[in-house]
Amino acid sequence: MTFSTQQKSVTVPSSLETEPQPIVSEEEMRQAVRTLLLGLGENPDREGLQDTPKRVVKALKFLTSGYHQSLDELLNGAVFHEDTNEMVLVRDIDLFSSCEHHILPILGRAHVAYIPDGKVIGLSKIARICEMYGRRLQVQERLTKQIADALQGLLQPKGVAVVIEATHMCMVMRGVQKPGSWTSSSAVRGVFAEDAKTRQEFMNLIRHSPSFS
């Protein structure tokens, strides 16, 4: 696994981190789904498909709800001053996202560690950060980087490390059709990038994860 040695100190804006979206009504979205069904050769008026446009729009809005969350709202003040400098690791965080190229699922796990420098974050908030960025149209490389940069900007710790292992349904269900294939991506900041021993300690800890067995 290759780690980037680039170190960044990133301040993450508290406002919504996406460009303004065009205003489209829910009815227009439903009509778009209906058009897709017609294009697939289906009859959107048959019993089993009558409510499908409504369900698809509702599902897509949920799966991309991360666009409408901010780190400030998510954290809700759960950053605390603490005199500790030992590694904090939350591993095996279930991760669900959607490939931006085909809008098909990305399924996997994230392992997130940081070394505090006077501030710590509520452990559940690490999972929430992964969830927020996961619930967007993504590529795995960007998702990994966004999680690392968010923690780096929020805590200014001595270092951050993120590894994601995921399987992509766009490779499993279509295209090359390779079930069982997994993609690993990593992002390291601070001492994890600079110190091989610290980086190795992190890797040794996550290798005990079921997803690495």
- Give catalytic residue positions: 99-102, 140, 168, 170
Residue with tokens 């279930």: 94
Q: What are the residues facing 138 on neighbouring strands?
A: 99
With 0-12 / 13-18 / 19 or more C-beta atoms within 10 angstroms meaning exposed / middle / buried, residue 202 is buried
With 0-12 / 13-18 / 19 or more C-beta atoms within 10 angstroms meaning exposed / middle / buried, residue 212 is middle
User: How many CB atoms within 10 Å of residue 213?
Assistant: 6
* Residue type, position 77, single letter: G
